[in-house]
Amino acid sequence: MLLRADNHRLFMYNGPERGNGVVAELPKTADVVVIGGGCTGASVAYHLARMGAKVALIEKNALASGSTGHAAGLITQQFATEMHVRLAKESLAFFEDLAGEKSLGLKFHQHGYVHLLFASAELEEARRQVALQRRLGVDSQILSAAAVRDLVPSLRVEDVLGAMYCARDGYTDPHLATTIFADLAKEHGAAVVQWTEVTAVEAAKGRVMGVRTDGGRVLAPVVVDAAGPWAALVAETAGIDLPVRPFRRMLWFTRPFDRVPDNAPVLFDTHHDFYFRREGEGLLMCLGNPGEPSNFDTTLDWSFAPQVAEYATYRFPPFEEAALVSGWAAPRDITPDHEPVLGEVPGLEGFVAAAGHSGHGFMLSPAIGRAIAQLILLRRSSIDIGPLSIERFRGRELPIDTYRPIGT
């Protein structure tokens, strides 16, 4: 594979004046302040507003400028627990609905999603997961290595035992989806305030009082920390130690390349934390960069590109003719168990965490947004997200090396 170091940034289409442009005024009061205009915050704000709450969504930059706008947009329902499968299934249906509303312009490429399996123990575990997924109404299946090769001709499968696959999974545009969530929130009366930074969460006598921003104060009894990789910094202003740390993730784009068909599924190789999918006329790909320290670095490290090219060409020999021409890097919000921290944080009434999505925050954002809104307004959610409370870390030592990024 050729490498060309002309690293120009690509920007995703933002829809006709969608999301940006109109900057709402900061309200003086709200029922709920949501901090962070990524997919999580925008989804929480939408669901809260739809349920009748007075919501202020506050974003320090533009909507989707954090992890979300840099995500690959992969969407799968192939999870290992009932809670995850239910969150994923509800989210996928939500994305389908958005894509079905043609005027919104969101394309959901449902060409399927292949998880390669290499060891017999993995195949056994995948069989268990597929049984669970199918019981919950997800039409996933186990494929033989030969069947995977039929889906992606020329893929190297000699070392592959099979794959877990769901034809309805796929990918969409996280930036556009988020601006749609925000537009929907606005339609239900939410104030979506961009270019305004929350500088502190204010609290007194163990209760949240609101937030201080660089544009003034907002009084509110409930504050949702949906600040993605920055969530721990926001929480710290309220004296809370949130176990969420930023780790850089890099995506790479090839020049136009037609050896992978337009309707090829997402190909995910968890052993090597490697995936690729179509992006326009070329491909988008990712190879994990383990061992990096936690940081907010957004530099695309071209010295890593030869490793990407080498593994990509091993897995899919026709990549020999491709060239990596651009890409980007952004932080993901990682927790020690790769699961988000969701719900009210004990010790500070009204402080709700919705961060630490660790690589699958976009695909689950519709359902997580709804569950958080239900927890705030109804005290219970239709999908029980209790196992994702911060309580699970209580009494555990969490040194930085317990945060090890994997996955999307």
Ligand X SMILES: Cc1cc2nc3c(=O)[nH]c(=O)nc-3n(C[C@H](O)[C@H](O)[C@H](O)COP(=O)(O)OP(=O)(O)OC[C@H]3O[C@@H](n4cnc5c(N)ncnc54)[C@H](O)[C@@H]3O)c2cc1C
Chain positions contacting ligand X, by CB under 6 A: 35-41, 58-61, 65-68, 70-74, 197-198, 226-230, 234, 249, 251, 330, 332-333, 355, 357, 359-363, 408
| Nearest distance, CB of residue 297 and ligand X, angstroms | 11
Q: Which amino acid is at 341?
A: V
In Å, how far from its chain's centre is CA 348? 27
Smaller CB separation from ligand X, 249 or 315 = 249
Helix (H, G, I), strand (E, B) or coil at 5: strand
| Nearest distance, CB of residue 385 and ligand X, angstroms | 14
Phi/psi of residue 118, nearest 5 degrees: -115, -25
Helices (H), 268-380: 305-315, 361-378
| Nearest distance, CB of residue 121 and ligand X, angstroms | 26
| Nearest distance, CB of residue 40 and ligand X, angstroms | 3
Nearest one of 150, 89, 1 to 367, comparing CA atoms? 89
Smaller CB separation from ligand X, 162 or 359 = 359
| Nearest distance, CB of residue 407 and ligand X, angstroms | 8
Distance CA 356, CA 353 (A): 9
Beta bridge partner(s), residue 142: 164
Q: How many CB atoms lie within 10 A of CB 16?
A: 7
| Nearest distance, CB of residue 130 and ligand X, angstroms | 20
| Nearest distance, CB of residue 395 and ligand X, angstroms | 26
Is the separation of the CB atoms in 257 and 104 below 8 Å? Answer: no
Strands 323-334 and 2-8: parallel
Measured between alpha carbons, how far is residue 246 from residues 165, 232, 295 in Å? 30, 9, 6
The answer to whether the Cα torsion of 277, 283, 284, 290 is positive or negative is: positive
| Nearest distance, CB of residue 319 and ligand X, angstroms | 20
Smaller CB separation from ligand X, 157 or 177 = 177
Smaller CB separation from ligand X, 327 or 350 = 327
| Nearest distance, CB of residue 365 and ligand X, angstroms | 7
Smaller CB separation from ligand X, 60 or 186 = 60
DSSP string of 58-94? E-SSSTTTTTGGGS--EE----SSHHHHHHHHHHHHH
Strands 162-166 and 140-144: antiparallel
What is the DSSP-derived secondary structure letter of residue 259?
Answer: S
In Å, how far from its chain's centre is CA 53? 25
Smaller CB separation from ligand X, 252 or 316 = 252
Smaller CB separation from ligand X, 126 or 287 = 287
Distance CA 137, CA 149 (A): 26
Smaller CB separation from ligand X, 41 or 162 = 41
Residues 6+ apart with CB under 8 A from 150: none
Smaller CB separation from ligand X, 62 or 126 = 62
